[in-house]
Amino acid sequence: MTLREYQRKRRFESTKEPKPDAAVPEGKRALFVVQLHHASRRHFDFRLQVGNVLKSWAVPKGPSYNPEVKRLAVEVEDHPVAYADFEGDIEEGYGKGHVDQFDLGVWSSAGDPLAQLEKGHLHFELFGKRLKGGWHLVRSGRKERQPSWFLIKADDAYASDVEADDLMDENMRASTRRAARSESTRAAARKSTARVRQPPAKRAAVRKTPLLTRAQKLPHARKASPSAAFFKPALAQLRDEPPAGDNWIHEVKWDGYRILATIAKGKVALWSRNALRWDEKIPDILQAVESLGLESAHLDGELIATDNQGRSDFNALQQTLAGEAQRPLVYVLFDLPYFEGYDLSRVTLVERKALLERMLGDGRRHLALSTHTRGDGAAAMERAVEHQLEGIISKRADSGYHAGRSGDWIKAKRLEGDEFAVVGYTPPKGSRSGFGSLLLARPDPQRRDGWIFAGRVGTGFSDRSLAETASLITAHPSRNAPSNLKNIDPLLRDARWISPTLVAEVYYRGIGNNHLLRQPSLKTLRMDKSPDDLRKPDRRVAKATPGPSPAIRHGTAKKVSGRAPAASAGNDTVTITHPDRVVYPSDNITKGEVAEYYRSIMKWLLPGVLDRPLSIIRCPEGAEKTCFFQKHPIQGLHRVGTVRLKEEKGSQAVYLFARDADSVLELVQFGTLEFHVWGATAARPDNADRIVFDLDPAPKVGWARVVAAARLLRGLLSRIGLQSFLRTTGGKGLHVVVPLNPGCPWAQVKDFSRAMASTMAAMHPQEFVDTASKAKRAGKIYVDYLRNSRGATSIANYSLRARKGAPVATPLRWEELSKIERGDAFTIHTLPRRLARLRKDPWEGIAAIGQSLDSAIAVLNKAP
């Protein structure tokens, strides 16, 4: 990005426009500005700050809040960030005319803005006084002298029929009337006599009446006057371990900034935990809280930023607040001490959170509820460790809301560990002798002998280890940093540098800004290792531990129990933590046994799941407790592939896919029991290469009827030249699967599968139904064709099901069907024995079968 073109077009001795070398404000959010420009033709200049410039487009008719309206946006030269404040007259030369500031605010995008612009589609949000909500910039396919785009409003809660001209104030309207020289401008001037409209308000505010009634009836709720003043937050005490007992609830410890919100007479104020106003820093959150439509409330929560996969990212939060990134921000709410005229500080926490959950409803963009589990703090901490979260906050379920550290809130943090080369030290201060802290570095993967500065560690030393370490490092120090060391902390003062000869093993609590260790503490010096050992490709990072212990603080190793041996998978290994945890309680099947099952059948499983977008069913607390479907990435996954895909309704999302055996086992480590796959590959998502018919019997429908249905469907498909394959679902029914090679567009596949289901229902109306309506399915078999839509999935071959008995979805030969007695005939225990007897997979060669819907439809057309 350069301002050379901006400079070339202007003579700064005769214009008031800012020069290209104007300073970029530091520590400010990335901004957007829209300026009403009365040049030779009136237009709106739409600008987004990306880095140190304003990417700019001229929008002749201005933005429209109607998602059906595409407004032409002609890309023009980048402008300096200082141009956002420019108003007044350009008296001569390029752009001559009057400029009004139409709107100014901040903006965000879930992905890299430059990468999106390069691809031709930028999806972003605006947080201004006039322009709000989601928007799209889409590159036009036209060949123009200047690149043309379309500015389009996203179809969200702010969408309306409001146009830019409707939102002008009287000053802008007066400018329009004064500049009325051409016919087009006179038309705009005539329109400017219309009344001023307000920006559309976000719909779906909180329905206060039932919530207020509920709040009034809560025990210990007290009538109290609303206050807009800062209130002191409840704080947590740090403990080594979370508390035990069912009177404690456990939440994620969010990695962000504490934010308190006060609402009085409908006006929202946002505060940091040290009573500083943050309204201007986070207008996106201000607007989100305003959208609740509350008259008075106090809210407590954490401000976080999400990455392009929807995960919390502290670095992204810092960069976004500093204007270095444009990540979406989310206010995660966990308490409601005051609500609509009632002081709830003496109401129990679980009742306050239940009211908060009802207030938020099904979810609001930029607002989220911090969910919790009750009891078993050790298990909650283990899950946080497994998912590489910072830790948990434990709270007394029956506690009120008390300012300060009352003991009702307890925090426990996880520790990570790794080994680093010692590249220097800082001088001691005060009564300390030897050195202040060790300076650490990790190997630079781009340079054979290079190092990357990782931070400093000054805690975890005993008097003895301090003296011994000092004797090893202080012999030949230098004031000059090594030339092969990158990313040195610019705030480092009086450092002494040494050649890397020592290795320090360090515990820390995550990676902070500039990729420096957060809260590091020395575990030990590894005298058995040299810095060269850190470059070995098979080196393993020290494992995370549930929390600190006195042994760790004194610099001695702590044994971590409860880990299974690493399961071999391809060229790498995945460690399965807590292998003894029971995940199928009725059958006493453990997480370790699930992992061993998938490892043992991996060569059979992989052909059906590799490189296909996945939806998984995760059961972190076991198959008989809450399980959930997931198709998007989560924090902590490193081996699983991701791909951004368009969904059936046109929106885009990042999906998981399995690259190899390690991907599968990593998902198992995260509590996955079931694997469901698209009928297409990640590389060719628009082409369906599988059609799946799910024969789903209603209760009391006998298995013999399901078998007959599968054979009937096979015959119908065979008559039009389509070979099909068979699978038990691990549930009540069967899947009949048709491979396509080459594949077909999703619309064609869906139409075909719907027609086949309708044909079966018409042929045998007493046997089959092609609608999901339960009222019509009684006593019949539902021929479910809906798995043949873009984004829909079906169970993968050899996947477990999260049901009692741990059944397995199993591919069959058609000749075996008469021997099978039920859809869940094979289980985690019996399936490996079946595979041991088989010489080849029943579906072997499915990918090589050449058949398409075009040929099948041609056969149908020839039929008499």
Q: Show which residues are catalytic.
A: 253
Query: Which tokens is 307 given?
Result: 């990455």
Output DSSP code: residue 447. S
What are the residues whose beta carbons fall under 8 Å from the beta carbon of 52, sequence distance 6 or more?
A: 1, 24, 81
Say if strands 148-153 and 132-139 run parallel, antiparallel, or are unpaired.
antiparallel
Rg of the chain in Å (alpha carbons): 32
Answer left, alpha or beta for residue 776, where phi above 0 means left and psi between -120 and 50 means alpha: alpha
Q: What's the CA dihedral at 801, 802, 807, 811 to 10 degrees?
A: 0
Query: Which tokens is 229 given?
Result: 């003043």
Give the C-alpha distances (Å, rounded to integers) separating 298 from 233, 246, 256, 523. 11, 28, 19, 43
Output DSSP code: residue 237. E
Paired residues of 768 in beta bridges: 781
Whole-angstrom distance, CA of residue 188 vs CA of residue 164: 11
Q: How many CA atoms lie within 13 A of 489 on its CB side?
A: 20
| Amino acid in position 350 | V
| Amino acid in position 624 | E
Which own/partner contact pairs does 666-669 have at CB distance under 8 Å and 24+ positions apart?
Answer: 666/574, 666/637, 666/638, 666/639, 666/640, 667/614, 667/616, 667/637, 667/640, 668/574, 668/576, 668/591, 668/594, 668/595, 668/598, 669/386, 669/574, 669/575, 669/576, 669/577, 669/595
Whole-angstrom distance, CA of residue 553 vs CA of residue 41: 70
What are the residues whose beta carbons fall under 8 Å from the beta carbon of 568, sequence distance 6 or more?
A: 599
Cis previous bond, 60, omega within 30:
no
Give the C-alpha distances (Å, rounded to integers) separating 653 from 645, 650, 798. 6, 10, 27
Contact call for residues 256 and 303 (beta carbons, < 8 A): yes
3-state DSSP helix/strand/coil % of the chain, to nearest 5: 25, 30, 45
Query: Which tokens is 688 given?
Result: 């369906």
E-strand stretches of 15-131: 31-38, 42-50, 53-59, 71-80, 88-90, 97-108, 121-127
Answer left, alpha or beta for residue 835, where phi above 0 means left and psi between -120 and 50 means alpha: alpha
Whole-angstrom distance, CA of residue 336 vs CA of residue 346: 11
Helices 661-669 and 591-600, interaxial angle, to 10°? 170
Whole-angstrom distance, CA of residue 658 vs CA of residue 656: 7
Which own/partner contact pairs does 850-854 have at CB distance under 8 Å and 24+ positions apart?
Answer: 850/741, 851/721, 851/722, 851/723, 851/738, 851/739, 851/740, 851/741, 852/740, 852/741, 852/742, 852/744, 853/740, 853/744, 853/748, 853/749, 853/752, 854/744
Q: Write the secondary structure of 135-196 as one string of H (helix), E (strand) and C (coil).
A: EEEEECCCCCCCCEEEEEECCCCCCCCCEHHHHCCHHHHHHHHHCCCCHHHHHHHHHCCCCC
Helices 746-763 and 853-862, interaxial angle, to 10°? 40
Answer left, alpha or beta for residue 384, where phi above 0 means left and psi between -120 and 50 means alpha: alpha
Give the C-alpha distances (Å, rounded to integers) separating 61 from 45, 72, 616, 815. 10, 8, 46, 68
